[in-house]
Structure 1
Amino acid sequence: MEQRTAFSSASQTSVLQTNKVLRNTYMLLAMTLTFSAVCAGIAMSLGLGQGAAMVMSIGALIMIFFLNKAAQSSMGIVFVFVFTGLLGASLGPMLNHYAGFAGGSELILQAFGATALVFFGLSGYVLTTKKDFSFMGGFLIVGLIVAVVASLANIFFQIPALSLAVSAAIVFIMSGFILYDTSRIINGGETNYIRATVSMYLNIYNLFTSILHLLGAFNSDD
Protein backbone atom coordinates (compact mmCIF):
# COMPACT_ATOMS: atom_id res chain seq x y z
CA MET A 1 0.00 0.00 0.00
CA GLU A 2 2.80 2.39 0.95
CA GLN A 3 4.62 1.57 -2.30
CA ARG A 4 1.51 2.32 -4.36
CA THR A 5 1.06 5.61 -2.52
CA ALA A 6 4.69 6.55 -3.08
CA PHE A 7 4.43 5.64 -6.77
CA SER A 8 1.24 7.69 -7.14
CA SER A 9 2.86 10.67 -5.40
CA ALA A 10 5.95 10.44 -7.65
CA SER A 11 3.73 10.18 -10.73
CA GLN A 12 1.75 13.27 -9.73
CA THR A 13 4.98 15.19 -9.08
CA SER A 14 6.26 14.19 -12.52
CA VAL A 15 3.05 15.36 -14.21
CA LEU A 16 3.15 18.68 -12.36
CA GLN A 17 6.80 19.18 -13.35
CA THR A 18 6.03 18.39 -16.98
CA ASN A 19 3.08 20.79 -17.01
CA LYS A 20 5.29 23.50 -15.48
CA VAL A 21 7.99 23.02 -18.13
CA LEU A 22 5.36 23.05 -20.88
CA ARG A 23 3.68 26.19 -19.56
CA ASN A 24 6.96 28.05 -19.08
CA THR A 25 8.19 26.99 -22.52
CA TYR A 26 5.14 28.29 -24.36
CA MET A 27 5.07 31.48 -22.31
CA LEU A 28 8.74 32.23 -23.00
CA LEU A 29 8.32 31.18 -26.63
CA ALA A 30 5.46 33.64 -27.12
CA MET A 31 7.52 36.47 -25.61
CA THR A 32 10.64 35.69 -27.62
CA LEU A 33 8.70 35.39 -30.88
CA THR A 34 7.11 38.78 -30.23
CA PHE A 35 10.49 40.30 -29.39
CA SER A 36 12.00 38.69 -32.48
CA ALA A 37 9.25 40.16 -34.68
CA VAL A 38 9.86 43.63 -33.22
CA CYS A 39 13.60 43.29 -33.94
CA ALA A 40 12.84 42.17 -37.49
CA GLY A 41 10.61 45.22 -37.96
CA ILE A 42 13.34 47.53 -36.67
CA ALA A 43 15.90 45.93 -39.00
CA MET A 44 13.51 46.38 -41.94
CA SER A 45 12.93 50.05 -41.14
CA LEU A 46 16.68 50.64 -40.85
CA GLY A 47 17.26 48.94 -44.19
CA LEU A 48 20.02 46.69 -42.87
CA GLY A 49 21.95 44.77 -45.53
CA GLN A 50 22.99 41.15 -45.93
CA GLY A 51 26.36 41.84 -44.31
CA ALA A 52 24.71 43.01 -41.10
CA ALA A 53 22.33 40.04 -41.23
CA MET A 54 25.28 37.65 -41.52
CA VAL A 55 27.04 39.25 -38.54
CA MET A 56 23.89 38.96 -36.41
CA SER A 57 23.38 35.33 -37.45
CA ILE A 58 26.95 34.53 -36.41
CA GLY A 59 26.36 36.39 -33.15
CA ALA A 60 23.26 34.25 -32.55
CA LEU A 61 25.28 31.07 -33.13
CA ILE A 62 27.82 32.25 -30.56
CA MET A 63 24.99 32.93 -28.11
CA ILE A 64 24.02 29.24 -28.21
CA PHE A 65 27.25 28.49 -26.31
CA PHE A 66 26.28 30.91 -23.53
CA LEU A 67 22.71 29.61 -23.52
CA ASN A 68 23.86 26.06 -22.87
CA LYS A 69 26.07 27.24 -20.02
CA ALA A 70 23.36 29.40 -18.41
CA ALA A 71 20.27 27.29 -19.11
CA GLN A 72 19.84 26.52 -15.41
CA SER A 73 20.06 30.15 -14.28
CA SER A 74 18.07 33.36 -14.69
CA MET A 75 20.79 34.67 -17.03
CA GLY A 76 19.64 32.03 -19.48
CA ILE A 77 16.46 34.04 -20.05
CA VAL A 78 18.51 37.14 -20.89
CA PHE A 79 20.59 35.13 -23.36
CA VAL A 80 17.41 33.71 -24.93
CA PHE A 81 16.17 37.21 -25.69
CA VAL A 82 19.57 38.26 -27.08
CA PHE A 83 19.64 35.11 -29.21
CA THR A 84 16.13 35.49 -30.60
CA GLY A 85 16.56 39.24 -31.03
CA LEU A 86 19.65 38.72 -33.17
CA LEU A 87 17.96 36.08 -35.31
CA GLY A 88 14.85 38.21 -35.65
CA ALA A 89 16.87 41.24 -36.75
CA SER A 90 18.82 39.08 -39.22
CA LEU A 91 15.52 38.48 -41.04
CA GLY A 92 15.24 42.18 -41.90
CA PRO A 93 17.00 42.11 -45.31
CA MET A 94 15.16 38.96 -46.40
CA LEU A 95 11.78 40.37 -45.38
CA ASN A 96 12.53 43.62 -47.22
CA HIS A 97 13.42 41.54 -50.28
CA TYR A 98 10.08 39.73 -50.29
CA ALA A 99 8.19 42.88 -49.32
CA GLY A 100 9.43 44.32 -52.62
CA PHE A 101 7.49 41.68 -54.56
CA ALA A 102 4.04 42.41 -55.96
CA GLY A 103 1.80 41.59 -52.99
CA GLY A 104 4.89 41.11 -50.86
CA SER A 105 3.21 42.02 -47.57
CA GLU A 106 0.49 39.43 -48.21
CA LEU A 107 3.19 36.89 -49.06
CA ILE A 108 4.89 37.41 -45.69
CA LEU A 109 1.56 37.17 -43.88
CA GLN A 110 0.75 33.94 -45.73
CA ALA A 111 4.09 32.47 -44.65
CA PHE A 112 3.42 33.57 -41.06
CA GLY A 113 -0.08 32.08 -41.14
CA ALA A 114 1.11 28.79 -42.63
CA THR A 115 3.87 28.56 -40.00
CA ALA A 116 1.40 29.20 -37.18
CA LEU A 117 -1.01 26.62 -38.62
CA VAL A 118 1.68 23.94 -38.84
CA PHE A 119 3.07 24.68 -35.37
CA PHE A 120 -0.26 24.76 -33.52
CA GLY A 121 -1.60 21.82 -35.49
CA LEU A 122 1.36 19.54 -34.80
CA SER A 123 1.88 20.66 -31.20
CA GLY A 124 -1.84 20.28 -30.53
CA TYR A 125 -1.76 16.78 -31.97
CA VAL A 126 1.05 15.69 -29.65
CA LEU A 127 -0.51 17.35 -26.61
CA THR A 128 -3.83 15.65 -27.34
CA THR A 129 -2.60 12.16 -28.20
CA LYS A 130 0.44 12.12 -25.83
CA LYS A 131 2.28 10.06 -28.47
CA ASP A 132 6.01 9.55 -28.08
CA PHE A 133 7.91 10.72 -31.18
CA SER A 134 11.39 10.22 -29.70
CA PHE A 135 12.06 7.53 -32.31
CA MET A 136 12.23 10.28 -34.96
CA GLY A 137 15.34 11.93 -33.49
CA GLY A 138 17.96 10.05 -35.51
CA PHE A 139 16.10 10.40 -38.81
CA LEU A 140 15.58 14.13 -38.28
CA ILE A 141 19.24 14.78 -37.47
CA VAL A 142 20.37 12.88 -40.58
CA GLY A 143 17.81 14.72 -42.71
CA LEU A 144 18.94 18.07 -41.30
CA ILE A 145 22.60 17.30 -42.01
CA VAL A 146 21.78 16.33 -45.61
CA ALA A 147 19.72 19.52 -46.07
CA VAL A 148 22.53 21.70 -44.67
CA VAL A 149 25.14 20.02 -46.90
CA ALA A 150 22.90 20.44 -49.96
CA SER A 151 22.27 24.08 -49.05
CA LEU A 152 26.01 24.78 -48.71
CA ALA A 153 26.72 23.00 -52.01
CA ASN A 154 24.08 25.10 -53.75
CA ILE A 155 25.98 28.26 -52.80
CA PHE A 156 28.46 27.21 -55.49
CA PHE A 157 26.10 25.47 -57.94
CA GLN A 158 23.25 28.01 -57.75
CA ILE A 159 20.59 25.53 -58.90
CA PRO A 160 17.08 27.00 -58.31
CA ALA A 161 15.43 23.57 -58.24
CA LEU A 162 17.86 22.37 -55.55
CA SER A 163 17.19 25.49 -53.49
CA LEU A 164 13.45 24.80 -53.62
CA ALA A 165 14.00 21.13 -52.79
CA VAL A 166 16.08 22.07 -49.73
CA SER A 167 13.41 24.51 -48.54
CA ALA A 168 10.70 21.88 -48.98
CA ALA A 169 12.83 19.34 -47.11
CA ILE A 170 13.40 21.78 -44.25
CA VAL A 171 9.64 22.35 -43.97
CA PHE A 172 9.15 18.61 -43.42
CA ILE A 173 12.18 18.29 -41.14
CA MET A 174 11.13 21.21 -38.92
CA SER A 175 7.60 19.82 -38.78
CA GLY A 176 9.12 16.57 -37.55
CA PHE A 177 11.17 18.43 -34.97
CA ILE A 178 8.03 20.16 -33.66
CA LEU A 179 6.51 16.72 -33.06
CA TYR A 180 9.77 15.45 -31.57
CA ASP A 181 10.46 18.42 -29.25
CA THR A 182 6.87 18.68 -28.03
CA SER A 183 6.90 14.95 -27.34
CA ARG A 184 10.14 15.24 -25.37
CA ILE A 185 8.62 17.90 -23.12
CA ILE A 186 5.42 16.03 -22.31
CA ASN A 187 7.24 12.72 -21.84
CA GLY A 188 9.93 14.16 -19.56
CA GLY A 189 12.79 14.02 -22.08
CA GLU A 190 13.35 17.77 -21.76
CA THR A 191 13.01 19.29 -18.29
CA ASN A 192 14.60 22.70 -18.95
CA TYR A 193 12.18 25.22 -20.41
CA ILE A 194 14.96 27.53 -21.65
CA ARG A 195 16.49 24.82 -23.82
CA ALA A 196 13.01 23.74 -24.89
CA THR A 197 12.18 27.32 -25.91
CA VAL A 198 15.34 27.62 -28.01
CA SER A 199 14.56 24.35 -29.79
CA MET A 200 10.97 25.38 -30.52
CA TYR A 201 12.03 28.85 -31.63
CA LEU A 202 14.53 27.41 -34.11
CA ASN A 203 11.88 25.04 -35.46
CA ILE A 204 9.50 27.94 -36.06
CA TYR A 205 12.23 30.23 -37.42
CA ASN A 206 13.44 27.71 -40.00
CA LEU A 207 9.90 26.67 -40.86
CA PHE A 208 8.89 30.29 -41.52
CA THR A 209 11.93 31.15 -43.66
CA SER A 210 11.55 27.98 -45.74
CA ILE A 211 7.83 28.50 -46.33
CA LEU A 212 8.49 32.13 -47.26
CA HIS A 213 11.17 31.03 -49.73
CA LEU A 214 8.78 28.54 -51.35
CA LEU A 215 5.92 31.04 -51.56
CA GLY A 216 8.28 33.69 -52.93
CA ALA A 217 9.53 31.31 -55.64
CA PHE A 218 5.99 30.39 -56.70
CA ASN A 219 4.94 34.04 -56.63
CA SER A 220 7.83 35.10 -58.88
CA ASP A 221 6.72 32.54 -61.46
CA ASP A 222 3.26 34.07 -61.75
Structure 2
Amino acid sequence: MHEHEYQLNHAQAEQQVVSKVLRNTYGLLAMTLAFSGLVAYLAMQMKVAYPNIFVVLIGFYGLFFLTAKLRDSGWGLLCTFALTGFMGYTLGPVLNMYLGLANGGELIASAMGMTALVFFGLSAYVLTTRKDMSFLSGFITAGFFVLLGAVLVNLFFQINGLQLAISAGFVLFSSACILFQTSAIIHGGERNYIMATIGLYVSLYNLFISLLQLLGIFGSDD
Protein backbone atom coordinates (compact mmCIF):
# COMPACT_ATOMS: atom_id res chain seq x y z
CA MET A 1 0.00 0.00 0.00
CA HIS A 2 2.74 2.43 1.01
CA GLU A 3 4.78 1.47 -2.04
CA HIS A 4 1.80 2.17 -4.29
CA GLU A 5 1.31 5.58 -2.68
CA TYR A 6 5.01 6.34 -3.09
CA GLN A 7 4.89 5.46 -6.78
CA LEU A 8 1.77 7.59 -7.26
CA ASN A 9 3.33 10.57 -5.49
CA HIS A 10 6.54 10.14 -7.46
CA ALA A 11 4.60 10.06 -10.75
CA GLN A 12 2.68 13.20 -9.77
CA ALA A 13 5.87 15.00 -8.78
CA GLU A 14 7.52 13.96 -12.04
CA GLN A 15 4.57 15.26 -14.04
CA GLN A 16 4.75 18.58 -12.21
CA VAL A 17 8.43 18.89 -13.12
CA VAL A 18 7.71 18.07 -16.77
CA SER A 19 4.90 20.63 -16.89
CA LYS A 20 7.15 23.29 -15.39
CA VAL A 21 9.97 22.61 -17.86
CA LEU A 22 7.54 22.66 -20.79
CA ARG A 23 5.93 25.89 -19.61
CA ASN A 24 9.27 27.63 -19.06
CA THR A 25 10.69 26.30 -22.34
CA TYR A 26 7.82 27.43 -24.54
CA GLY A 27 7.59 30.75 -22.72
CA LEU A 28 11.29 31.47 -23.18
CA LEU A 29 11.16 30.19 -26.77
CA ALA A 30 8.37 32.65 -27.60
CA MET A 31 10.38 35.53 -26.10
CA THR A 32 13.61 34.59 -27.90
CA LEU A 33 11.78 34.23 -31.22
CA ALA A 34 10.25 37.69 -30.75
CA PHE A 35 13.63 39.17 -29.80
CA SER A 36 15.35 37.44 -32.70
CA GLY A 37 12.68 38.71 -35.08
CA LEU A 38 13.17 42.27 -33.79
CA VAL A 39 16.93 42.08 -34.29
CA ALA A 40 16.41 40.64 -37.79
CA TYR A 41 14.05 43.51 -38.61
CA LEU A 42 16.58 46.09 -37.40
CA ALA A 43 19.33 44.39 -39.40
CA MET A 44 17.11 44.53 -42.48
CA GLN A 45 16.39 48.23 -41.98
CA MET A 46 20.09 48.95 -41.54
CA LYS A 47 20.86 46.80 -44.60
CA VAL A 48 23.79 45.12 -42.88
CA ALA A 49 25.89 42.67 -44.87
CA TYR A 50 25.96 38.97 -44.03
CA PRO A 51 28.93 38.28 -41.73
CA ASN A 52 31.87 36.16 -42.82
CA ILE A 53 31.11 32.45 -42.41
CA PHE A 54 33.87 32.06 -39.85
CA VAL A 55 32.46 34.97 -37.82
CA VAL A 56 29.08 33.24 -37.89
CA LEU A 57 30.52 29.91 -36.76
CA ILE A 58 32.68 31.42 -34.02
CA GLY A 59 29.83 33.65 -32.83
CA PHE A 60 27.27 30.84 -32.78
CA TYR A 61 29.38 28.11 -31.18
CA GLY A 62 31.03 30.54 -28.77
CA LEU A 63 27.68 31.82 -27.50
CA PHE A 64 26.22 28.31 -27.53
CA PHE A 65 28.93 26.84 -25.32
CA LEU A 66 28.86 29.90 -23.06
CA THR A 67 25.10 29.45 -22.64
CA ALA A 68 25.57 25.76 -21.87
CA LYS A 69 28.20 26.57 -19.25
CA LEU A 70 26.01 29.19 -17.54
CA ARG A 71 22.68 27.40 -18.02
CA ASP A 72 22.02 27.07 -14.28
CA SER A 73 22.37 30.78 -13.52
CA GLY A 74 20.73 34.04 -14.49
CA TRP A 75 23.65 34.69 -16.83
CA GLY A 76 22.42 31.74 -18.86
CA LEU A 77 19.25 33.68 -19.72
CA LEU A 78 21.34 36.65 -20.83
CA CYS A 79 23.47 34.38 -23.02
CA THR A 80 20.32 32.83 -24.48
CA PHE A 81 19.13 36.22 -25.70
CA ALA A 82 22.64 37.07 -26.90
CA LEU A 83 22.73 33.88 -28.97
CA THR A 84 19.25 34.22 -30.43
CA GLY A 85 19.85 37.92 -31.08
CA PHE A 86 23.04 37.08 -32.95
CA MET A 87 21.13 34.53 -35.05
CA GLY A 88 18.51 37.17 -35.76
CA TYR A 89 21.28 39.51 -36.88
CA THR A 90 22.50 36.90 -39.39
CA LEU A 91 18.93 36.37 -40.59
CA GLY A 92 18.37 40.01 -41.56
CA PRO A 93 20.67 40.04 -44.63
CA VAL A 94 19.22 36.69 -45.79
CA LEU A 95 15.67 38.07 -45.68
CA ASN A 96 16.76 41.22 -47.54
CA MET A 97 18.26 39.04 -50.26
CA TYR A 98 14.98 37.17 -50.73
CA LEU A 99 12.95 40.38 -50.61
CA GLY A 100 14.99 41.48 -53.61
CA LEU A 101 13.31 38.73 -55.63
CA ALA A 102 10.05 39.30 -57.46
CA ASN A 103 8.19 36.83 -55.23
CA GLY A 104 10.45 37.20 -52.19
CA GLY A 105 7.70 38.25 -49.78
CA GLU A 106 5.60 35.23 -50.72
CA LEU A 107 8.58 32.90 -50.28
CA ILE A 108 9.32 34.24 -46.80
CA ALA A 109 5.67 34.06 -45.72
CA SER A 110 5.36 30.52 -47.07
CA ALA A 111 8.55 29.40 -45.30
CA MET A 112 7.35 30.92 -42.02
CA GLY A 113 3.94 29.25 -42.34
CA MET A 114 5.47 25.87 -43.15
CA THR A 115 7.94 26.17 -40.27
CA ALA A 116 5.14 26.92 -37.81
CA LEU A 117 3.04 24.05 -39.18
CA VAL A 118 5.89 21.54 -38.91
CA PHE A 119 6.85 22.67 -35.40
CA PHE A 120 3.35 22.63 -33.95
CA GLY A 121 2.49 19.39 -35.73
CA LEU A 122 5.57 17.51 -34.53
CA SER A 123 5.35 18.94 -31.00
CA ALA A 124 1.67 18.07 -30.72
CA TYR A 125 2.37 14.53 -31.93
CA VAL A 126 4.97 13.91 -29.24
CA LEU A 127 3.00 15.63 -26.48
CA THR A 128 -0.21 13.71 -27.23
CA THR A 129 1.25 10.28 -27.95
CA ARG A 130 4.10 10.68 -25.39
CA LYS A 131 6.26 8.41 -27.54
CA ASP A 132 9.91 8.07 -26.62
CA MET A 133 11.97 9.45 -29.51
CA SER A 134 15.36 8.70 -27.96
CA PHE A 135 16.01 6.22 -30.78
CA LEU A 136 16.59 9.22 -33.06
CA SER A 137 19.83 10.14 -31.28
CA GLY A 138 21.95 8.00 -33.60
CA PHE A 139 20.30 9.46 -36.70
CA ILE A 140 20.79 13.00 -35.38
CA THR A 141 24.47 12.42 -34.59
CA ALA A 142 25.17 10.86 -37.99
CA GLY A 143 23.09 13.52 -39.74
CA PHE A 144 25.05 16.32 -38.07
CA PHE A 145 28.39 15.08 -39.38
CA VAL A 146 27.03 14.27 -42.84
CA LEU A 147 25.48 17.72 -43.18
CA LEU A 148 28.59 19.40 -41.80
CA GLY A 149 30.72 17.62 -44.37
CA ALA A 150 28.31 18.50 -47.17
CA VAL A 151 28.30 22.18 -46.15
CA LEU A 152 32.10 22.32 -46.14
CA VAL A 153 32.30 20.61 -49.55
CA ASN A 154 29.72 22.98 -50.98
CA LEU A 155 31.54 25.96 -49.47
CA PHE A 156 34.71 25.21 -51.40
CA PHE A 157 33.52 23.40 -54.55
CA GLN A 158 29.97 24.69 -55.27
CA ILE A 159 28.71 21.39 -56.72
CA ASN A 160 25.49 21.63 -58.72
CA GLY A 161 22.50 20.25 -56.85
CA LEU A 162 24.37 19.87 -53.57
CA GLN A 163 22.71 22.92 -52.01
CA LEU A 164 19.30 21.39 -52.76
CA ALA A 165 20.33 18.16 -51.06
CA ILE A 166 21.73 20.07 -48.06
CA SER A 167 18.53 22.08 -47.61
CA ALA A 168 16.36 18.96 -47.85
CA GLY A 169 18.68 17.21 -45.40
CA PHE A 170 18.40 20.05 -42.90
CA VAL A 171 14.59 19.91 -43.10
CA LEU A 172 14.67 16.24 -42.11
CA PHE A 173 17.42 16.82 -39.54
CA SER A 174 15.62 19.74 -37.88
CA SER A 175 12.34 17.81 -37.81
CA ALA A 176 14.06 14.88 -36.11
CA CYS A 177 15.63 17.26 -33.57
CA ILE A 178 12.24 18.77 -32.69
CA LEU A 179 10.82 15.29 -32.08
CA PHE A 180 13.87 14.26 -30.05
CA GLN A 181 14.07 17.45 -27.97
CA THR A 182 10.36 17.51 -27.13
CA SER A 183 10.47 13.84 -26.17
CA ALA A 184 13.53 14.45 -23.99
CA ILE A 185 11.58 17.00 -21.95
CA ILE A 186 8.57 14.80 -21.24
CA HIS A 187 10.64 11.66 -20.58
CA GLY A 188 13.18 13.22 -18.23
CA GLY A 189 16.13 13.52 -20.58
CA GLU A 190 16.14 17.32 -20.39
CA ARG A 191 15.39 19.23 -17.20
CA ASN A 192 17.06 22.55 -18.03
CA TYR A 193 14.63 24.82 -19.86
CA ILE A 194 17.39 27.09 -21.14
CA MET A 195 19.08 24.25 -23.03
CA ALA A 196 15.70 22.95 -24.19
CA THR A 197 14.88 26.42 -25.53
CA ILE A 198 18.20 26.75 -27.35
CA GLY A 199 17.78 23.33 -28.92
CA LEU A 200 14.29 24.08 -30.21
CA TYR A 201 15.28 27.58 -31.37
CA VAL A 202 18.21 26.29 -33.43
CA SER A 203 15.98 23.60 -34.96
CA LEU A 204 13.37 26.22 -35.90
CA TYR A 205 16.03 28.54 -37.33
CA ASN A 206 17.55 25.79 -39.48
CA LEU A 207 14.12 24.56 -40.55
CA PHE A 208 13.03 28.04 -41.64
CA ILE A 209 16.25 28.78 -43.54
CA SER A 210 16.18 25.38 -45.27
CA LEU A 211 12.53 25.69 -46.30
CA LEU A 212 13.23 29.21 -47.58
CA GLN A 213 16.12 27.90 -49.67
CA LEU A 214 14.04 25.06 -51.07
CA LEU A 215 11.17 27.38 -51.95
CA GLY A 216 13.65 29.80 -53.51
CA ILE A 217 15.18 27.05 -55.65
CA PHE A 218 11.87 25.64 -56.84
CA GLY A 219 10.29 29.07 -57.19
CA SER A 220 13.15 30.45 -59.26
CA ASP A 221 12.44 31.49 -62.81
CA ASP A 222 15.94 30.42 -63.92
* Range class of TM-score, shorter chain: over 0.9
Inter-partner Cα distance in structure 2 for 1:160 and 1:215: 17
User: Greater shift after overlay, 155-164 or 114-123?
Assistant: 155-164
> Structure 1 residue 2 and structure 2 residue 16: aligned?
no
Q: 1:119 to 1:37 in 2, by over 3 A?
A: same
Inter-partner Cα distance in structure 1 for 2:19 and 2:115: 24
Inter-partner Cα distance in structure 2 for 1:41 and 1:55: 20
CA deviation after TM superposition for structure 1 residue 56, in Å: 5.1
Equivalent pair of 2:51/2:90 in contact (CA under 8 Å) = no
- Corresponding residue for 1:186? 186
Q: 1:54 to 1:110 in 2, by over 3 A?
A: farther
- Corresponding residue for 1:85? 85
Q: Could you tell me the TM-score, scaled by structure 1's length?
A: 0.96
CA deviation after TM superposition for structure 1 residue 105, in Å: 1.1
- Corresponding residue for 1:105? 105
- Corresponding residue for 2:17? 17
Residues 200-219 of structure 1, C-alpha deviations (whole Å, 9 max, x = no match): 00000000000001111112
Inter-partner Cα distance in structure 2 for 1:183 and 1:25: 13
1:61-210 correspondence runs (5 A): 61-210=61-210
Equivalent pair of 2:123/2:179 in contact (CA under 8 Å) = yes
CA deviation after TM superposition for structure 1 residue 21, in Å: 0.2
Inter-partner Cα distance in structure 1 for 2:54 and 2:37: 18
User: Greater shift after overlay, 51-60 or 101-110?
Assistant: 51-60
Inter-partner Cα distance in structure 1 for 2:6 and 2:21: 23
* Structure 2 counterpart of 1:3, one-letter code: E
- Corresponding residue for 2:41? 41
CA deviation after TM superposition for structure 1 residue 78, in Å: 0.9
CA deviation after TM superposition for structure 1 residue 152, in Å: 0.8
- Where structure 1 has 5 or more consecutive residues not aligned to the other structure, the ranges are none
Q: How many residues align?
A: 222
Residues 111-137 of structure 1, C-alpha deviations (whole Å, 9 max, x = no match): 011000000000000001000010111
Inter-partner Cα distance in structure 2 for 1:61 and 1:220: 33
Inter-partner Cα distance in structure 2 for 1:57 and 1:141: 19
Q: Which structure 1 residue ranges, 4+ long, deviate > 4 Å from structure 2?
A: none
Q: 1:100 to 1:33 in 2, by over 3 A?
A: same
Identity of aligned residues (%): 49
Inter-partner Cα distance in structure 2 for 1:52 and 1:141: 26
* Structure 1 counterpart of 2:20, one-letter code: K
- Corresponding residue for 1:32? 32
CA RMSD of aligned residues (A): 1.3
Equivalent pair of 2:67/2:79 in contact (CA under 8 Å) = yes
CA deviation after TM superposition for structure 1 residue 53, in Å: 7.5
CA deviation after TM superposition for structure 1 residue 151, in Å: 1.2
Q: 1:54 to 1:41 in 2, by over 3 A?
A: farther
CA deviation after TM superposition for structure 1 residue 98, in Å: 0.6
Q: 1:51 to 1:65 in 2, by over 3 A?
A: same
